[in-house]
Every structure is written in C-alpha cells, then in structure tokens.
Amino acid sequence: MTRPVRARINLGALQHNYQLARQAAPASRLMAVVKANAYGHGAVPVARALQDADAFALASVEEAVQLREAGVSRPLVLLEGVFDATDLAAAAEYALQPVVHSLEQADWLAQAPAAASLHLWLKVDTGMHRLGVSPQQAGAVHRRLAALVEAGGGSVRLMSHLACADEPQHAANDAQLAAFLSLDTPAAERSLANSAALLTRPDMHFDWVRPGIMLYGASPFAPNADRQTGLQPVMTLESQLIAVYPRNQGDSIGYGQAWTCPAAMPVGVAACGYGDGYPRHAPAGTPVLVNGREVPLIGRLSMDMICVDLRSQPRARPGDPVQLWGAGLPVEAVAARAGTIAYELLCNVSGRVPRAYSDG
C-alpha cells in the first residue's frame, strides 16, 4: 500500500468559486491567478478546468510555458514581468504578456526586437510600495512602451496591486483607488482588484479582475474581517491513522517531549507532517479530523507524522480517515492556529503528496 496522504482537488468546487467571481464582477474580464502551481492545486488541471477564463496569471516564464505546452491557448500574464532581457524572447515566442514594473524592464524591451508586438501591463505603485513605477512616472513610461509595441499590434494596459484589500475598511484601499484613478496616462485597459477587492469593491473592478485565493475556496479576508463568502474549499488534505497506542499518564509525546499525557489515553499517529506541507508551527490543540470528528493535535509534529489525542474516540483504529484541512475543516482555521495564512498552507503542500482530481 502507498503512504496514505493525498490532496483531493475538487474541480467542481473550483468551478463554483469561479462562477461566484464571474457573478461578483459581471462586467469585467477575469484573469485567473494560477501562479505557484495554482496555489498548490496543480496549474495545468486548474487551467484546463477554467478554460473560459479570459487570461491566466503566473509568476515566471517557466510557469507560463508549462501551461502553453499543456495546450492552454489563453492569454498568459507574467505578474512580475521578465527577470532579464533574455526572457523577452521566450515571452514573444509563447505570446506571454509581461508586467513592466521598472525602468530597467522598459529598457530591456526597448532593446529587444522580438518584443515589438507584445501586450504589456504597466504596473504602477499606488501605495503598496513593492513593485511598480511611481504615479509620477506612469505617463511617460506608458507613452514610451506604447511607442515600442503599438505599431506591431501590441498594447499597454495598466495594473496596480492593493496592500490592504484583506481589510475592507482600511483607509489605504481608498487612497490607492484615488491614486489609480488620477494617473496621467493615455486611455488604457485597467486592473486593480484581487479576490478581496473583487468581492467587496465594485468600484475597483475596472476592465480586468485578478482573483487568486477565492478560486481555491479560501477566504481572502483577514480573520477579524469575519465575512461570509459562499466559497467552497477546493483542496482537502487527507491521510489515515497508521497507529494507535495506549499511553500512560506522564508519557511524553514526540520530539522534545513537548507534550505530556495528563491521563492514561489513546494516542493516534497520522501519516502527514511538515515534509508534506503541514505547518511545523501548528501548536498542540490545532484541530484535526479523525473519522470526521475534531481531535486536537498533540506534541511537536515531525516530518512525516503528527500525533493526536484520541480520548474522544477510544475506538479509533489504524486505517481510519484523517483530514488535515478541506471540506470538513477550514484551512483558514488551521492557518490561524499555526500563525500563518491559508495561502501559505495551500502553496506549501509538497510535491510528494499525490493530487487526486475529481469533478466534485
């Protein structure tokens, strides 16, 4: 028998979430963000399941070429643009749409004949202060880029990214919108909204929305935002108990002897650990489902295994189903306990975990 850990990917739930995004932004085109292997879900099967998305967004030429070679013919946007001038030849060959976020990238384009018909996305920094040319530079850079590509049939669109969209009440959201609206550039298609803005700010939808996390069924909002989304989890990370032992009061469990049994009790061992992408900082008490019911994680987890307190399930046996997160246990809840966000847990499910796809 193979090791029982696997990530079930429910493509029906993915399509449900995609339809929610479409309904929330009916007048905009939709760029489905599938960077980082579609947040751990598998970029090729996810793109195939969302084949009527208007574009897909990725983080590198390599990620984009993987989709092209799998037969995806939709526009592919490189969210960080190219990493050096030589990437531009590949961008042209595969008809990719690079973001241009810096003057250096604009210089590379000016020196690359192959780039003369590309569709470009000029990224403007409206306040996140990560990537982007300044609002003051935007007009001149836009005109410079347009002069490079428009004669060849290319175009220059405008994009910016929000720092605080996960907190809809944050004042930075309105400030970034105001900066985006007052850019002094030629008329162009525009894009600002990630998942959180797509769901809360119709005034930020513009021509293109860029949902990522919501497609995968995790909330884009900070935990304290406490918003209902109607999203369905796409990934369920599951395994099985591989052992159940009776332990004595005073027995310590796992590395560092960090957790001690307060009473005689059954302790289960499940085949899933940080080598599979389960967060190593998940503390004792983090919920795990055994036979569909919550039990607490105990002790320090290891690379391949976690231990759970089975006092509430004295009849649990090796082979019983274990769920780490997904359809029965929100990944956000596990992330909050581990001091991280759902995005990180989903992305980190490691390559050794087989993905099992179903239509739901």
CB 329 to ligand PLP: min, Å: 21
CB 24 to ligand PLP: min, Å: 12
- Known catalytic membership, residue 343: no
Q: Measured between alpha carbons, how far is 161 from 206 in angstroms, rounded to an integer?
A: 13
CB 282 to ligand PLP: min, Å: 22
**Nearest to ligand PLP of 161, 247 (CB atom):** 161
CB 217 to ligand PLP: min, Å: 12
Distant-in-sequence, close-in-space partners of 306: CB < 8 Å, separation ≥ 6: 269, 270, 272, 273, 278, 288, 297
**Nearest to ligand PLP of 212, 268 (CB atom):** 212
Residue 163, classed as helix, strand or coil, is: coil
Strands 287-290, 293-298: pairing is: antiparallel
Q: Measured between alpha carbons, how far is 56 from 211 in angstroms, rounded to an integer?
A: 10
Residue 340, classed as helix, strand or coil, is: coil
**Nearest to ligand PLP of 99, 289 (CB atom):** 99
CB 343 to ligand PLP: min, Å: 7
**Nearest to ligand PLP of 38, 72 (CB atom):** 38
Q: Other C-beta atoms within 10 Å of 279: how many?
A: 19
* C-beta nearest to ligand PLP: residue: 212
**Nearest to ligand PLP of 216, 325 (CB atom):** 216
- Known catalytic membership, residue 123: no
With beta carbons less than 8 A apart as the criterion, state whether 232 and 16 touch: yes
Q: Which of 35, 123, 274, 343 is catalytic?
A: 35
Q: Which residue in 216, 201, 176 sits closest to 28, CA to CA? A: 201
**Nearest to ligand PLP of 5, 218 (CB atom):** 218
Distant-in-sequence, close-in-space partners of 59: CB < 8 Å, separation ≥ 6: 35, 36, 78, 79, 80
Residue 3, classed as helix, strand or coil, is: coil
CB 341 to ligand PLP: min, Å: 10
Q: Which residue has the tokens 């836009």?
A: 142
Q: Which residue in 353, 360, 94, 33 sits closest to 216, CA to CA? A: 33
Identity of the residue numbered 267:
V
Q: Other C-beta atoms within 10 Å of 331: how many?
A: 25
Binding residues vs ligand PLP (CB under 6 A): 33, 35, 79, 161, 194-195, 210-213, 220
Encoded tokens for 78 = 């490189």
What are the residue numbers of the active site? 35, 255
